Structure formats: structure tokens, C-alpha cells
């Protein structure tokens, strides 16, 4: 009768409190713990079988041919330890692959950080060089050696005296309660001023810049304009008013400006670029000089009070030329007739003529018409009969212009 072969079925170890059945709940203290278990405890639990001496092997993993015991659990632990950088004693050595990689990566990162930091400070030097502050290069290098960041270094540099001198216009703005300009805005404004002056042949107005000392003096002169909040557009208007409307105008206008304000041709630019003077007021002065020049050109007397009054009234150079041309033509006769009829209280002189011509004052117009009426009555209502100079001259008093002046 054949004997049935019994097959043993591996039964999973039953879990109990603190471990599995057949396995101690805790490893010996001397066994160093590694990932997945303890030294000497197989990571994979297999049911051991008796040694088959005939075959020379057992399911436990011993191989008599190599004269020793080969524990599969220990082998797998060793592999795992090696991958984790743990040596046979459970320690982590400095020469393991994992630690070496970590140290190398950290060193490389530090090297990259230091390079980036040096590059940042070199860039900071370039920026301040572009401001004309190369003298701060050594200070920037010193800050780098101190180990401070570029942000802190920048703050300190902006508090230095060389920086404050370079952007002195911002110091003036701050003192006046105005907002300071960013460096690029400040430099753009300087460039705009310089371009305008060059366009009008006044490139040396703020001084030369052939050496460091001259450059600093020029920058401080420009700073006074920036500090007064003079925009690029306003600066250009000031220069064009000084040059186009006064300096390059005919001599009568320049003579009038000097007569009114005591400013000659050489001082015109300085006068108009004075940041303490209001642009609107400067334009009115230029208009007054143009009006005064028109009167002077006709041989008529003029005053700064009258010229500025007419300028504020809105009379321009063209209107002044037409008006004073008409006044010059009729005033001699009007003055003569005013002398003839002064007992009747009729007085028509330059002031009255300017009032009627430029402001269209009805009161002055009535005075002129009374003189015409008196003169025509004296000569029988005719001015063309050849009865004398007085009769002929009244035709100038009747004259009217297309501008509505006469």
C-alpha cells in the first residue's frame, strides 16, 4: 500500500503583542537597528526545514560546499545596509556613497551661492559707476568682505556723502517737502537739460565737465534746477523763451528788456533759468519786452508798467506792432488838437490812444471822436478842402483798422 506524501504548508506567523510568534518581541540591545529589522533577524520569515545530508543543502540556506553558513536574511540586510550607507556594525561611515553625495552637493551649492554673491556685488559696483560714483568701489568691496547682503550695502551706500553730493537735487527736494526722484529719473532729467541747452547753443551754461572737479560743479548747478522741481518741458520753455523771444529777437526788444529789467543779452539765459522765478511771470516779461520793443520801434515812449499791463491783458508782439503803428500815425495830430481844445477838457494822448487801441475803452474812443467833431465843425465839416493842416490831419482820427482799433 502506497504511502501518501505529506505536504507541509507554511503558516504565516501569528502576530502577538510586541512581535510575531516565534520571534522575540524585542531584539537584543546589542543588535543595532537598521531599516526593516534588526541585525541577526531575517527580514523575510521562512519556515526552516531539516537538513538533507544527502543533498548537502537545507532550505535554511546552508551550503556545505563553501564550508560555512549563509544566512539569506543577513545577506538581504547587508544589501539594504549598503544602499542606506550603513556598515556592517550598523554605523554610518563618512566614506559611504550616501554621505559623500550629500557633502559634495552641499559644497557645490555653497560654491554657487558664493559665486552669485560676488556677481551681485560686481553688479552693484557697475551700477554706482554708472552714477559717476566709482569712488565707492572700495567701500562696496569692503561690504562684501564683511558678509552683509547687497540690499544692506545699497542702503549704506545711499547714506554716504559721495552719493548725497551726486544726487544733491534730491536733498533739496526732500528739504522742500517734495518726493525724491529715482536715480534713473534723476539722470534722465540731467540728460534732458543738457540736450536742450546744446540745441540752443548753451551747452556750457552749467559749466564744463572736462575733469572730475568740473563735473561735480556742473552736477551741483543742475541739482539746483532739479531741486526746484523744474520739469524737462518747463526747462525747454524757459530756454526757448530766453533765446527765441529775446536773445534772437531784434534790437528793440532786447533794448526794451534791458530798459525794463536791467538784463543784458549775456545774462538772459541765467535770468530765465533762475529756478526761483516763475515761468508764467518770465513769459509775461518776454511779452512786455516785445510790446515795449514795438513802441520803441515806432519812436514812441514806453514804460515797464504799461508794457506789462498790456502783456497781462493778452497783447502779443504782432498785435503790438499793428497797434503802435496806427498810434504813431495819428498821435501827433491828436496831441496837437488836444492842445487846441484843452479848455474844453478834451485830452487825447499816448495813454488814451493805447487804451482805445489795445483795450477798446469806450471812454477813450469818445475823446477821440469829440476832437474829430470839433475839428470838422471848425472847417465846415470838410477835411479835404485844403483849409489847412488841421483839417487834413483829421482823416487820421477817422481811420479804422481791420483789427478793430481805428
pLDDT tens readout for residues 79-101: 444 444 444 444 444 444 445 55
Mean pLDDT of the chain: 78
Q: Is 48 helix (H, G, I), strand (E, B) or coil?
A: coil
Residues 235-261 pLDDT 10s = 999 999 999 999 999 999 999 999 999
CA distance 139 to 156: 10
Q: What contacts 79, CB < 8 A, 6 or more positions away?
A: none
- What's the pLDDT score for residue 20? 45
pTM tops 0.75, yes or no: no
For the residues 154-167, what does the mean pLDDT come to?
96
The angle, 0 to 180 degrees and rounded to 10, between the axes of the packed helices 279-297 and 317-340 is 50
Specify the higher pLDDT residue, 393 or 193. Answer: 193
Residue-wise pLDDT for 375-402, tens only, equals 888 876 554 322 233 333 444 455 443 3
Q: Is residue 215 exposed (0-12), middle (13-18) or buried (19+ Cβ within 10 Å)? A: middle
Q: Given this model, what pLDDT does residue 116 score?
A: 86
| Domain boundaries defined on the chain | 32-45+54-93, 99-166, 317-398
Measured CA to CA, the distance from residue 302 to residue 100 in angstroms comes to 97
- Out of 66-80, 116-130, 295-309, 317-331, pick the least confident: 66-80
Question: Residue 44's pLDDT is what?
Answer: 46
290, 245 contact by CB (below 8 A)? yes
Neighbour count for residue 231 (Cβ, 10 Å): 12
> Reduced to 3 DSSP states, what percent helix, strand and coil does the chain have, rounded to the nearest 5?
60, 5, 35
Q: Which residue has the cell 562684501?
A: 144
Q: In this model, does residue 348 exceed pLDDT 60? A: yes
Least confident of 66-70, 118-122, 196-200, 362-366: 66-70
pLDDT of residue 117: 84
Amino acid at each position: 500500500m502506497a504511502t501518501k506524501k505529506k505536504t507541509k504548508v507554511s503558516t504565516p506567523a501569528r502576530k502577538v503583542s510586541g512581535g510575531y510568534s516565534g520571534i522575540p518581541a524585542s531584539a537584543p540591545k546589542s543588535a543595532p537597528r537598521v531599516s526593516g529589522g534588526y541585525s541577526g533577524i531575517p527580514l523575510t520569515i521562512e519556515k526552516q526545514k531539516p537538513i538533507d545530508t544527502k543533498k548537502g543543502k537545507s532550505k535554511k540556506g546552508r551550503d556545505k560546499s563553501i564550508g560555512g553558513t549563509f544566512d539569506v536574511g543577513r545577506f538581504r540586510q547587508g544589501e539594504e545596509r549598503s544602499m542606506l550607507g550603513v556598515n556592517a556594525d550598523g554605523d554610518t561611515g563618512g566614506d559611504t556613497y550616501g554621505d559623500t553625495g550629500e557633502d559634495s552637493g552641499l559644497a557645490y551649492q555653497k560654491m554657487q551661492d558664493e559665486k552669485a554673491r560676488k556677481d551681485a556685488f560686481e553688479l552693484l559696483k557697475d551700477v554706482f559707476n554708472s552714477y559717476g560714483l566709482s569712488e565707492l568701489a572700495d567701500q562696496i568691496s569692503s561690504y562684501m568682505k564683511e558678509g552683509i547682503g547687497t540690499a544692506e550695502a545699497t542702503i549704506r551706500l545711499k547714506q554716504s556723502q559721495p552719493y548725497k553730493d551726486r544726487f544733491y537735487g534730491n536733498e533739496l527736494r526732500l528739504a522742500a517737502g517734495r518726493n525724491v526722484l529715482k536715480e534713473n529719473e534723476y539722470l534722465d532729467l540731467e540728460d534732458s537739460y543738457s540736450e536742450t541747452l546744446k540745441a540752443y547753443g548753451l551747452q556750457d551754461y552749467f559749466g564744463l565737465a572736462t575733469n572730475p572737479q568740473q563735473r561735480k560743479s556742473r552736477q551741483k548747478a543742475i541739482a539746483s534746477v532739479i531741486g526746484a522741481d523744474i520739469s524737462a518741458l518747463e526747462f525747454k520753455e524757459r530756454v526757448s523763451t530766453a533765446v527765441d523771444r529775446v536773445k534772437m529777437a531784434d534790437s528793440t526788444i532786447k533794448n526794451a528788456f534791458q530798459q525794463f529789467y536791467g538784463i543784458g543779452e549775456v545774462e538772459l539765459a541765467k535770468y530765465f533759468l533762475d529756478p526761483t522765478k516763475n515761468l508764467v511771470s518770465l513769459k509775461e516779461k518776454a511779452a512786455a519786452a516785445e510790446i515795449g520793443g514795438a513802441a520803441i520801434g515806432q519812436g514812441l515812449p514806453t514804460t515797464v508798467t504799461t508794457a506789462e499791463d498790456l502783456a497781462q491783458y493778452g497783447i502779443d508782439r504782432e498785435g503790438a506792432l499793428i497797434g503802435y503803428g496806427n498810434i504813431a500815425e495819428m498821435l501827433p495830430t491828436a496831441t496837437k488838437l488836444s492842445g487846441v481844445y484843452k479848455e474844453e477838457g478834451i485830452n487825447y494822448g499816448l495813454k488814451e490812444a493805447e487804451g482805445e487801441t489795445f483795450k477798446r475803452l469806450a471812454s477813450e474812443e469818445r475823446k477821440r471822436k469829440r476832437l474829430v467833431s470839433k475839428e470838422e465843425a471848425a472847417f465846415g465839416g470838410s477835411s479835404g478842402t485844403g483849409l489847412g493842416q488841421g483839417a487834413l490831419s483829421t482823416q487820421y482820427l477817422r481811420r479804422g483798422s481791420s483789427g478793430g482799433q481805428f
